[in-house]
């Protein structure tokens, strides 16, 4: 009976902690865009489904992003991702910054680091087919080859 | 009861042997450079190092901002909270210029590590 009581106490404690955690809010935000990226339609569609939830101000927050502690992790991940690259703020980047972002994008695509595997498992629609990945890489390369600091396009 | 002393002695010997023959010597760790981030810029902005030798760069964030020490050419990107110090270990660099920057603040002047 002692073991059962201990287990019951642990369950109640965890449940209480989870309930208390819901009162620690995680700020889910979608600020206004500051000069959004304007890629070709096909590229835009791929970026939106595979990248925009983390790397833009147009995050589609899922229901579980309202449930602590998962909400804290998701909000933190989106905040960090937006700091790395934010397609909604592309217009506010200096030309040199845009170039750096494109370089890192190219590397992340070539090395298969983006989208993250765990994200792809939870969001199958975000998976990049080989053709999608190749198209994005070509788009990145064309952006790097373009001397103009303007919008990136094929 | 079998004594544990021979086992411990053997383990200690193996550890010492590994340290001696692993190829890492004290000399390889002597190339240490420091970069400090404060007042919205890196100091020094240009770091000259010896090409062909391993390098450890200690980066100190002395500001009250979270920054990201990043270099595409060095393939390193590390977020740093205020007051944090990190050590970026680099393999022997070929002669050349390797830019670094704070990826979280694009108005921070870029720095360079020059290997020659």
pLDDT digits 0-9 by tens, A7-60: 999 999 999 999 999 999 889 999 998 888 889 999 999 999 999 999 999 999
Is A108 contained in some domain?
yes
Is A109 contained in some domain?
yes
Chain A residue whose CA is closest to B78: A84
**Digit-coded pLDDT (tens) for A89-143:** 999 999 999 999 999 999 999 999 999 999 999 899 999 999 999 999 999 999 9
Per-residue tokens: A38: 């304007």
pLDDT at position A134 is 96
Domain count of chain A? 1
Contact A83 B72 (CB under 8 A): no
This prediction's pTM: 0.80
Mutate to test the interface with A, among B65, B68, B72, B73 (most CBs of A within 10 A): B72
Query: How far apart are alpha carbons B50 and B18 in whole angstroms?
Result: 28
Is A104 contained in some domain?
yes
Query: How far apart are alpha carbons A60 and A39 in whole angstroms?
Result: 20
A72 CB contacts (<8 Å, ≥6 apart)? A24, A26
Is A11 contained in some domain?
no
Domains of chain B: 27-115 (2.60.40.420)
Of B68, B79, B106, nearest to A93 by CB-CB distance is B106
Per-residue tokens: B48: 């000259």
A103 CB contacts (<8 Å, ≥6 apart)? A144, B72
Mutate to test the interface with B, among A83, A101, A106, A108 (most CBs of B within 10 A): A83
**Digit-coded pLDDT (tens) for B19-77:** 555 544 444 456 899 999 999 999 999 999 999 999 999 999 999 999 999 999 999 99
Is A21 contained in some domain?
no
Is A7 contained in some domain?
no
Give residue A53's domain range. Answer: 28-145
pLDDT at position A108 is 96
Is A94 contained in some domain?
yes
Contact A100 B75 (CB under 8 A): no
Of B77, B79, B106, nearest to A97 by CB-CB distance is B106
On average, the pLDDT of chain A sits at 91
Chain A residue whose CA is closest to B76: A104
Task: Tell me the chain A residues in contact with residue B79 when contact means C-beta distances shorter than 8 Å.
Answer: 80, 83
Is A84 contained in some domain?
yes
């Amino acid at each position: 009976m002692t073991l059962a009581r201990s287990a019951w106490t642990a369950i109640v404690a965890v449940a209480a902690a989870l309930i208390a955690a819901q009162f620690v809010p995680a700020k889910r935000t979608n600020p206004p865009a500051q000069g959004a990226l304007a890629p070709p339609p096909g590229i835009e569609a791929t970026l939106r489904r595979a990248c925009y939830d983390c790397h833009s101000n147009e995050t589609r927050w899922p229901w579980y992003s309202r449930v602590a502690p998962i909400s804290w992790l998701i909000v933190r991940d989106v905040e960090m991702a937006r700091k790395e690259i934010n397609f909604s703020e592309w217009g506010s980047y200096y030309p040199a910054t845009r170039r750096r972002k494109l370089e890192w994008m190219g590397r992340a695509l070539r090395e298969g680091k983006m989208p993250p595997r765990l994200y792809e498992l939870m969001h199958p629609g975000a998976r990049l087919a080989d053709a999608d990945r190749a198209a994005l890489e070509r788009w990145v390369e064309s952006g790097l080859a373009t001397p103009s600091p303007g919008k990136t396009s094929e | 009861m079998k004594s544990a002393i021979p086992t411990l002695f053997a383990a200690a010997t193996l550890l010492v042997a590994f340290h001696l023959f692993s190829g890492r010597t004290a000399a390889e760790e002597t190339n240490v450079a420091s970069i400090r981030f404060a007042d919205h810029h890196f100091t020094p902005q240009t770091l000259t190092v010896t090409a062909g030798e391993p390098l450890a760069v200690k980066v100190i964030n002395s500001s009250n901002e979270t920054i990201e020490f990043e270099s595409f050419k060095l393939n390193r990107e590390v977020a740093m909270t205020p007051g944090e110090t990190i050590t970026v270990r680099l393999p022997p660099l070929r002669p050349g210029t390797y830019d670094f920057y704070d990826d979280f603040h694009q108005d921070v002047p870029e720095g360079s590590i020059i290997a020659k």
